[in-house]
Structure 1
Amino acid sequence: MDAQDVIDMVELDDFTVKEVQTGWKIMDQKGAFLEFFESLKGVAPRSAPMLKRAHAAWEAFGKLVAGLGEASQLRSSMEFCALRHMSVALQQSDVDSFKAVLLDVCSNKLAALLTPEFQFGVSMLVDSMGRTMLRTRNKFETRLRILHTSWTALEHSEGEKVDVDSPCPPDSPDEEGEPQSDDNGPVSPSERSTGERKHRKSLASVGSVHVPRSFHDMVLFNASVMNMGENTWFEEMLRSLRALVPNCGNISRLQEECDLLCLALVHCENVELSNFKQVMLASLRSLLPSQWNMEHENAWSWFWDGVETRLTTGMPLSSVYMNHLQSFLRMDEEACSAFKMEVFETFFATCEQSQEYLKASNAKLQFIAGRILDIMTDMFRTPQSAVKDISALGLLHAGYGVREELIQPFVTAFMTAVKNACPEESWITGVRWTFEVVSRTLARTMAEGSTAVMRSITKNSAKQLEEAVASAPRGQREQMLLRVQVGTESISPVLWAIQSGALHSAEAILKDLLTIRADRARYYYGMEGLWDRHPDIVPLLCKQAPSLMEPLLDGLMWRSKQIKGGVRRVNYYISRILVEEGGLAPSMHQLVKHSDPTLLCHPCTRFVFDLLWAKMCCFAFIVTKLWFVLTLVDFVVGLQYGILMFDSAGPGRWALIGCRLFMYIFSLGQLFIKHTTQFAHAYKEGRTLRCFKCFRVPAYLFSSRQEFVEFVLAVFLFAMLTMEPFLHCLNVDDRFVTNCCEHGEFYCSLSDNYDRISTIPMLLYFILASDLVHLNIHLSSFVVICTSLWWEFVLYLGALGFVATAFASAIACLPQTGADDSVQLRDFYHWPSAFQSLLSMSLSMYSGNSFEEINTATEVPLKWWIIAFGACWHIFLTNLMIAHFCESYRGIFQDAMGHAWLTRGTLILETAMPLVSLKKWKGFVESLKLEEPCELDEGDVGPRGGVATAEGPFEHLKSPGVELDRVRRFGGLASIELPWPEEKADKEDDSEKLQKMTCQRFDEQDRMLREICIKLGIRASGLTGSSPGSIMAQSQASDRPKARFDVLEGSSSIPAEDVLEENSDATELVEDPSRHNSMQSPKSFGRLGSQPFTSDPVVD
């Protein structure tokens, strides 16, 4: 690849060369390249491929300036720049825009030091470089187009016809070629962007002969036919061609890929590159028979000659460099540690900006340096794996916002440390070459990964993120927000924003993806793309960014503006949050596990759970409770008096005995088997908890209220079985009677104790029956409130017990002065009776006559102690309890409905869904028709994946975050290559309003000061135009290069003297007027008429 014959050399006199080089040297370089390329993006869109590595391009132009005095160096630099960008479709207008923006930036940076010679020299250099690039492009355009279209045809799926002669847009010089589809089936967006597709066989059967249809198979087939099948290095060549051919228009990237290929071939033997050329061309002729001609032959030969030249030069050196690196790394541990620390100490000393990014301990820095040495070693052992690691590292640096210009100072610091630690001078060359390969690859991946979206995430700015995607084609906007691809490695902007804590940017990404946009042809909705890229988006947000769950759920809703029949149409796009790979999505489990009541009250979440409950789980839940309801009825009938409790020896006793047998066999038997099995598994697997630091109990008993209550119920049922009266009566009466009190006091007391114990299982049965309230969400909410306030109630019962105990103990100490039947002896004689009496008083169960007796008791202090107890409990503690309950209820009520939905979700997922058959689930999913477009308003077919429903006309007020009819519609052309039209902001934020008001105020002051200075005939330093934000400064910055060029080129209709005279009022007087006048030169012209244009710039 040679462009020497198309280089347009620039010829400048020594004075102009010195002016250009001096001006470029003294110009403030910091931030200049960013300002320049940001301005260039707007005026020259076709230069966008060059702008991905702004700092590198700025340095390349700096080398051109430095080479102005040496023709050979300048020619070499111009050739390199031209070959690096020969695939960029530039035009003369782009070169003119480049020149104008560059001169504008230089004028802003140099200010009074800008000279006409500098402008003239830079203009000539840019024009010369532009003509060279245009000629290089014209020279190689046909070959590049042929290579691109031929390779595209080879990468297409078998049997698919490709028009290889059709023009196509050139590749970006710093971008990976987009992988093509390997099959005829549909390809998802994520597959299109990364090439993550399953390998398919590419042999087509023709009769009984298998004819290769892919380039890879055809090369191997021809190699076998030509007796070259033993060349295992062909596989490395074929793998590298996937990167070499798409980047043949970028000599820098081509050299990088050739260096990597040299590292891969260093371990191979008998590498004859000419053999591969023969096989490659033969395979191309076989696969492209109808399109192949002499132009194709010349283009591929030209491409291979360039690759072969670089490989021939680099392969012998690779083995030598590998030995150099291995020899250098044989240093002992102490020397290696000192070398690692010297690298970073030198880096910190020479680059102040590094401290903004490296804030780690020495141990961490040594680990980083060791990892660098490992990657350098892996470059020779496993180059492909090392390149993947470097790509991942570059994307990580891009995510942290590390700038590309920091790489070169680090390379310099690293090589300085190598020179100090390396005992042999010859080893330095190998180490330098290896590290430069690593640094070039890292710089490229950082540049490709540092997209506008990633930079906005680094700054955590939602506004900058909106600006970053504003100009993106509407068909690619979704992928820009979901994937940044560099080679085989990729990073997700939304995932990085979440993990790095840039929640403003993450929220902006989610809102942009879940905004429904529409043109005349189609809808654009990123819900499916988001879930394709991140199937775990809901668990991810629940764990790392719960505040983003509400914007996510808001984006899954659409509400109509129209109200028909008193209801409003609502679409919930729940296909991916509900279904995954044909089953229930894990997102549902995570929503319940997250246990956020506010989140579960969201309309989208409620709709999903309501849908599952109504269509699938309600009946299944009722079925699980039917057996329990039956056993409860049996227990009530068999134990309560007045139903079957009559003559113990009558015929009705058989029904009673049958009910109790049913209870013992089926209810107790079921509980006994269940808990015995769980006990055995818990102790066998060690899932136990220490209770009272004495013994261990199974942990499952404390996992839920139901498990614990069931265990206690089983214990009491077993105790009832051991005390069952009709079983004991068999010892004295064989008639199966239910009561045999006539046979002794033992049997009577046994029956009475049996009835007393049965009250506890009766209560436990009804506690378990309270689960039935979850059939209604409002009853469930009421139970949640009662459960939440239960602990407060227990606290006040404890307070009542303490107060009653204290007062009862005090009253029991009073002298017993009354008669034997007095109230003091009857109710307050000792502590137990006094305690019982006080509890009766607190619960309003004490007799009114007893209060009269207390009032007339002979022991007067008794009355006062009772009054004190009443005041303490009824006046203070009771009112305090009421106030406490009110405040607790006020806080609980907000979340009560959410906890009710949480309980319902738990029942759905843990109780009902395991009972739903696969057939029923598939029928339910099919009935939702999630694969079909979901209609918005009448006749408007919207995106797919939604379920339509209706709600009340004012329900939308409960979730104001979701706009009515939030579809953003656009007219005009409907091409997916066009960006969305710019939307006007509805309202400015407070900071923007403040900034606008401040700028207006300063502009007004600027105008007043300018008028005063003009009247006085001076312009003081720091006034009008001195700040870059002022109106006059902006006009001067834009007019200065225009005026100078007009005068310099003689194209202006205004004489030079008039220009000088017109701008003399704006002269800045910072020194003695007489001295200033003496410095005036009659030959000076342009806006800087107050200073002469000499070789040494004068600085006031």
Structure 2
Amino acid sequence: MERTTNAFGRIPCEMLRLLMLPSKGLMVLETLSLALRHVDYGAQREHNEVFERSFLRALSQFLIREGGVWDADVSDGWSWVYGTFSDELLRALEVVRPKVEAVRSSWNQIITKSVMQSEFSDDSHTSGTTQISSRRHSVSGRTIASMHGTGGLLSGGRSHKSHQKRSTLNAEMSNEDGVDGRQKALVSVGAAMARRLQEGIAQSKEKTKFAWSEKHGQKLGTALELVVSTATRPKELERNLFRLAQRHVELGVKPAHLKVFESCLFDLLAVNLSAAAFESAQLAWKWLWDIVERTFVQVLVNWETMQTSLTASWEVISQRADSAVKVARTFHNTLLDRVMVFRSMFKKRDEALALVFAKALQLLVDCVHDSSLIETELEKISVMHCKFDLQAWHFEIFGQILLETLQESGGQAWCDDYTEAWSMLYGMASQTFLEAIDSSRTSLCSALLQGSTKKVKEALSKAPRGERAASALQVGVGRRQLSPLLWALRDMHLEVLEILLSDILTIRADRQCFYYGVDDLWKRCPAILDALVEFAPHLLEPLLDGHMWVSRETTDGLRRVNLWVQYIYGNPEELEHVFAGPLGTLVERLPETHIEVFRHPVISETVNLKWHQFGRRRLIAVSLQQITCLVSYLVVSMSGDLSLWLRLCACALWGTITAIQLAHGCYIAVWEACTQRCTSLDFKLCRLKVPRSLCQFFVQLRLVCCLLSLLLIETMVVTCFESRSDARCLDGDHASPRVLSASVAFLQWIQMAELFKLHGKMAAVVLLGKAMMEDALRFMMGLGLWLIAVGASLHKLQDDETRPQNGFSSAYNLFAHVLGVGTDTDLTYYESSEAFDAVVRIVYLGALWVSVVPILNVLIAAMVSTYSKAESMTLGLAIKARAGFVLRMEDMLRFKRRLHFFKDAGFDMALAFSEHDRGPSGGISMMCDTLQLKEHGSFGRRVGAVLFFSGETGTDQPWPSHDIPLLVNHVNTVSEKLPSQELHRELLSELRVIRDATSRARAASASREPVAAPPVEVTLQTLAAVAEASTDQHCFLAVEGRIYDVGAYLQNHPGGSSVLTSGRGKDVSEPFRAAHSQLLRAREALAQLPVLGILSHGDAPPESTVTKVFV
């Protein structure tokens, strides 16, 4: 719709341009090109009269709003322009429409015949063909390197620090579609064409530089489809042919080969079409082939010359100007000095902008030698310029100054061939830019570029209900598909992002079905959660709120809750590994400040689902092994109380389980290293990639315990064979070092803390204990270093007689005194010393004061802060600990096992909204009591979150006007507005507009600078109400379709103030024209006042004999 509006806005200029061409022949050629675009519109001669009336009326309204005058002479002039133009266009349309229809009809016959042949092929060929995937197409988050912002390439399983180093957030999308029947037919037709072409070229004198393959056949079918589909879009057809021809130059294709191609093409048509169909379509295909051949020949002949000229000219410029930066700097200065409008577009510093221009020039030169850069780098840069409202004349001026700068830099060595080559290259680049910019002139793209929430809502409201979610998730810019969500996040338009997310995740329903965008969200923009974690984690809860629904009805004290958790769970068929999914992203990359996200019902229930499927069973199995090892260790350590054979059996069981655990841990680590399941650890000086399992605290603890246990078992068993006494056998306290025995005893018991994960809140102790120990260790290290330094000073202050041999004795005594665990001798040790003079006392007391007051208080404060923080995050930490465990267990499962659990979850069943209503599938449904619903605020925010519309049904119908229930602000909106409310809001809006315009008028009169108010349509009833409510200082009236406040003329009006006050709140157009003999001067006086609005169409003044006014 928006593109059509923009096209209509350019119609008057296009009409005048065509009629002002120097010759009739040029106008006919241009009109033929324009007529091709009107074939798809279905334009007919009977539409001409209706279109003429609409065109003249719209043009008159525009002129009135812009301050112009629409009279009889202007109307007659534009009527003649339209009549002349439309006659030429319709004649051209009647010429080209039969040709286009003949080409398309014959091409569809060939494709249909190929499809039927493919369907009726024998079973051996059918079994080898690729079937259409039953799943919907997925959309990946590939990057647009040119789309600058604050993000990076979003991929799962990467560390948070690596993402902070990137400076680009990606918004491009690419569809991975399955191969359908038409695509197979194109490949088949292309292969048949390639075989004929290969035989024809082999018989011709001109040989190609490339070897024929199956890919050439596939590309031929696609190229023919491209030519046929763009036959009614001349500019797009010319650009596509230009790029195709450029690639064929690199393949060594000559103009003589085109004759062979033409012959093969018509042979293909003759074979696949009937005689009558071929005869009727032959002339049409000849017409289309002439267009293709003309473009190809032009490129094939001129491209090599252009390559040589561009390379030579660039060498000349580089030699004279020393570097491309100097040329770019000269070009930049000339551009900004000559055209002031470019100054407001470019915000960078001059030197930085010159470097950008230099890179752009180098890219243009590189495009000549590598045509793939046109579709990659050049189109990426063109997407960046969509935010500027660039027109064709901008590129004309830009190219003119560029050629002048290059010619000046080239000096006397510059020639006309260089100018022609650069003109051709710049024309190709400017067309690429214009194609991308023109395609971005849609309502949603404009709203995204401006960051306007109001325009985003308006753009979404125009979309059909069946495509509303898709339109909010994918927009086309040029030949690229961009994600509006990532686009808004890249530009940090978070309010726009909130509107888009809320609209997509709003559940709407009509009398036929439900409309819910959660499937489209995850299939078209799977990187959304990664992006939010990285750049806007506060929007995670609103995103998750959109994945749930709570019923208003209560049955036996329970309410139904639906959670769409399929994509949070992660489909094994779509994920490379478990931690690449949404849940893995939250576990590995979510900042600790947003740990409460794990308490959200969508996340917690997903974790519980995996926990009950396989996590709990796996933890119990691991815990049983640890308990068995602990019991065996206790039996072995009971020397003398149990028989030797029982202890030997326990020792063998202990050693066997320990060896199995150690081997399994090493196997998992090696498997993770081979499959790139690693975590990057940054040690400041270096970065290491470590298997993910080795980064887990309890895995590290288990491996260390297994190694020490095996060493202890070996020591005790060896003692049994060396010692003759049974009392010494398996006695760890005597057979092994005490440190080894103590370490094994400590590790055997501390491993049991992993059992805390079986309980929800106890699992938080695992993470909190580690954080508290790190804080305590950090402060103890600082305190110890301080006390050692003070102790060394005290040691040197003592005399030789009382100084102990160990230099750390003073530090130890001081440390014990600070911690309050020392004895009296710690003080008497210094008091008995003769050297305990005033200096020693000062040092000692100062050390105690600094240690006890600042350092220990800071430690205590940190511990208190950790405890208070832990108390508020206990449940979130517990769910995170459990989530990390279940993901590690799932990652170790085989693919078939993971897929079994995924299908067993029942995500393919539709979730019930009530006894009779079945909503979208992809989640779980459960009954919750009122106490559970109070545990998290999202339950209250999503009560009855379904907007039902009982009006017209149909996927092609837009939704009735309604407010979007924002997930972020948690606003409960009504699905439909009453007519009285609509009227009341409209009246208030008009009153506010007039009030604001009046205040601007006062400021304008004070500064003697008139300020124009925005043109707002106002009814006569509203104008009368405002005039009645206004004070005597104001006088609102309508003159010739415009509303003014003429209160400034009440005292100085020649006819007196009563003349003006008598028309207050009325349309005084006729009295105004009748009372003023010098109408132009009166209008000039009115023009100095701000226009507060315009009358609506129904209240517009009637036509007069002097002036025609269309409002």
Same-fold status (TM-score > 0.5):
yes
Structure 1: runs of 5+ lacking an equivalent = 1-44, 163-180, 205-210, 741-746, 813-829, 847-867, 1012-1017, 1041-1053, 1074-1085, 1094-1100
- Does structure 2 retain, via aligned residues, the 8 Å contact 1:87–1:141? no
Question: Paired residue for 2:451?
Answer: 460
Match of 2:41 among 85, 88, 92: 88
Question: Paired residue for 1:121?
Answer: 77
Structure 1's 184 and 131: CA in aligned 2 closer, same or farther, altered over 3 A?
farther
- Structure 1 residue 590: deviation in Å? 1.6
Question: Paired residue for 1:705?
Answer: 697
Equivalents in 2 of 1:1024, 1:1061: separation in Å?
Answer: 28
Q: How does 1:571-970 map to 2 (within 5 A)?
A: 571-582=562-573, 585=578, 586-587=580-581, 588-596=583-591, 597-639=595-637, 645-646=640-641, 652-656=643-647, 658-659=649-650, 663=654, 667=658, 703-706=695-698, 709-710=701-702, 713=705, 717=709, 734-738=724-728, 751=734, 758=741, 760-790=743-773, 887-910=865-888, 912-953=889-930, 955-957=932-934, 958-960=936-938, 962-970=941-949
CA shift digits 1:654-693 (9 cap, x unpaired): 43455456556754896699789999x99xx999999999
- Does structure 1 retain, via aligned residues, the 8 Å contact 2:558–2:928? yes
Structure 1's 250 and 1029: CA in aligned 2 closer, same or farther, altered over 3 A?
same
Question: Paired residue for 1:528?
Answer: 519
Residue type matched to 1:107 in 2? I
- Does structure 1 retain, via aligned residues, the 8 Å contact 2:317–2:409? no
Equivalents in 2 of 1:1027, 1:687: separation in Å?
Answer: 57
- Structure 1 residue 623: deviation in Å? 0.9
Equivalents in 1 of 2:372, 2:819: separation in Å?
Answer: 85
Equivalents in 2 of 1:668, 1:412: separation in Å?
Answer: 79
Question: Paired residue for 2:550?
Answer: 559
Equivalents in 2 of 1:259, 1:715: separation in Å?
Answer: 69
CA shift digits 1:322-365 (9 cap, x unpaired): 55444433425243624433333333233334344442664764
CA shift digits 1:1004-1053 (9 cap, x unpaired): 58789999xxxxxx99987898764695899667579xxxxxxxxxxxxx
Equivalents in 2 of 1:1006, 1:751: separation in Å?
Answer: 97
- Does structure 2 retain, via aligned residues, the 8 Å contact 1:788–1:892? no
Equivalents in 2 of 1:629, 1:671: separation in Å?
Answer: 16
- Does structure 2 retain, via aligned residues, the 8 Å contact 1:600–1:606? yes
Question: Paired residue for 1:245?
Answer: 228
Count of residue pairs brought into register by the alignment: 932
CA shift digits 1:217-259 (9 cap, x unpaired): 4434555788887688997876543333222223333444454
Q: What is the SS of the residue equivalent to 2:761?
A: helix
- Structure 1 residue 614: deviation in Å? 0.7
Equivalents in 2 of 1:302, 1:450: separation in Å?
Answer: 33
Residue type matched to 2:17 in 1? K
Bigger RCO of structures 1 and 2 (CA < 8 A, at least 6 apart): 2
- Does structure 1 retain, via aligned residues, the 8 Å contact 2:191–2:220? no
Equivalents in 2 of 1:1072, 1:982: separation in Å?
Answer: 42
- Does structure 2 retain, via aligned residues, the 8 Å contact 1:729–1:737? no
CA shift digits 1:160-194 (9 cap, x unpaired): 599xxxxxxxxxxxxxxxxxx99877684679998
Residue type matched to 1:551 in 2? P
Equivalents in 1 of 2:254, 2:183: separation in Å?
Answer: 30
CA shift digits 1:13-44 (9 cap, x unpaired): xxxxxxxxxxxxxxxxxxxxxxxxxxxxxxxx
- Does structure 2 retain, via aligned residues, the 8 Å contact 1:781–1:899? yes
Equivalents in 1 of 2:753, 2:941: separation in Å?
Answer: 37
Q: Are 1:280 and 2:265 counterparts?
A: yes
Q: What is the SS of the residue equivalent to 2:901?
A: helix
- Structure 1 residue 572: deviation in Å? 2.2
- Structure 1 residue 610: deviation in Å? 0.5
- Structure 1 residue 883: deviation in Å? 7.7
Equivalents in 2 of 1:589, 1:528: separation in Å?
Answer: 20
Match of 1:414 among 379, 402, 427: 402
CA shift digits 1:511-540 (9 cap, x unpaired): 333333333444333333333334444334
Match of 1:1061 among 1074, 1099, 1103: 1074
- Structure 1 residue 613: deviation in Å? 0.5
Match of 1:494 among 465, 480, 485: 485
Structure 1's 762 and 885: CA in aligned 2 closer, same or farther, altered over 3 A?
same
Match of 1:980 among 959, 983, 993: 959
Equivalents in 2 of 1:692, 1:1004: separation in Å?
Answer: 62
- Structure 1 residue 612: deviation in Å? 0.5
Residue type matched to 2:397 in 1? P
Question: Paired residue for 1:427?
Answer: 418
Equivalents in 2 of 1:638, 1:362: separation in Å?
Answer: 78
Residue type matched to 1:589 in 2? G
Q: Are 1:436 and 2:436 counterparts?
A: no
Match of 2:66 among 103, 109, 117: 109
Residue type matched to 1:969 in 2? F
Equivalents in 2 of 1:117, 1:75: separation in Å?
Answer: 28
Q: How does 1:249-264 map to 2 (within 5 A)?
A: 249-260=232-243, 262-263=245-246
- Does structure 2 retain, via aligned residues, the 8 Å contact 1:63–1:77? no
Question: Paired residue for 2:342?
Answer: 354
Match of 1:505 among 493, 496, 507: 496
Structure 1's 300 and 914: CA in aligned 2 closer, same or farther, altered over 3 A?
closer
Structure 1's 427 and 785: CA in aligned 2 closer, same or farther, altered over 3 A?
closer
Question: Paired residue for 1:216?
Answer: 190
- Does structure 2 retain, via aligned residues, the 8 Å contact 1:571–1:948? yes
- Does structure 1 retain, via aligned residues, the 8 Å contact 2:464–2:959? yes
Match of 1:341 among 329, 353, 360: 329
CA shift digits 1:573-631 (9 cap, x unpaired): 22233233436652132221124422222211111111000111111111122121111
Question: Paired residue for 1:1050?
Answer: none
Q: How does 1:62-211 map to 2 (within 5 A)?
A: 63-64=17-18, 81-90=34-43, 91=47, 92-111=49-68, 117-152=73-108, 154-155=110-111, 158-159=114-115, 188=136, 197=177
795-804 or 487-496: bigger deviation:
795-804
Equivalents in 2 of 1:738, 1:292: separation in Å?
Answer: 105
561-570 or 606-615: bigger deviation:
561-570
- Taking structure 2 as the reference length, the TM-score comes to 0.68
Equivalents in 2 of 1:808, 1:335: separation in Å?
Answer: 74
- Does structure 2 retain, via aligned residues, the 8 Å contact 1:689–1:698? yes
Residue type matched to 1:503 in 2? L
Structure 2: runs of 5+ lacking an equivalent = 119-128, 141-172, 209-215, 796-808, 825-845, 972-981, 1024-1035, 1044-1066, 1087-1099
CA-atom RMSD, angstroms?
A: 6.1
Q: Are 1:446 and 2:437 counterparts?
A: yes
- Structure 1 residue 435: deviation in Å? 1.9
- Structure 1 residue 460: deviation in Å? 2.5
- Does structure 1 retain, via aligned residues, the 8 Å contact 2:818–2:852? no
Q: What is the SS of the residue equivalent to 1:778?
A: coil
- Does structure 1 retain, via aligned residues, the 8 Å contact 2:571–2:899? no
CA shift digits 1:72-101 (9 cap, x unpaired): 877776665445545434534344333322
- Does structure 2 retain, via aligned residues, the 8 Å contact 1:515–1:966? yes
- Does structure 2 retain, via aligned residues, the 8 Å contact 1:538–1:549? yes
Q: Kindly, what percent of the aligned residue pairs are identical?
A: 17
Equivalents in 1 of 2:995, 2:689: separation in Å?
Answer: 80
- Structure 1 residue 888: deviation in Å? 4.0
- Structure 1 residue 634: deviation in Å? 2.1
Residue type matched to 1:216 in 2? G
Equivalents in 2 of 1:980, 1:913: separation in Å?
Answer: 43
- Does structure 2 retain, via aligned residues, the 8 Å contact 1:1025–1:1036? no
Q: What is the SS of the residue equivalent to 2:727?
A: coil
- Structure 1 residue 1066: deviation in Å? 9.5
- Taking structure 1 as the reference length, the TM-score comes to 0.69
Q: If you compute each CA radius of gyration, which structure gives the higher value, 1 or 2?
A: 1
Structure 1's 406 and 492: CA in aligned 2 closer, same or farther, altered over 3 A?
farther
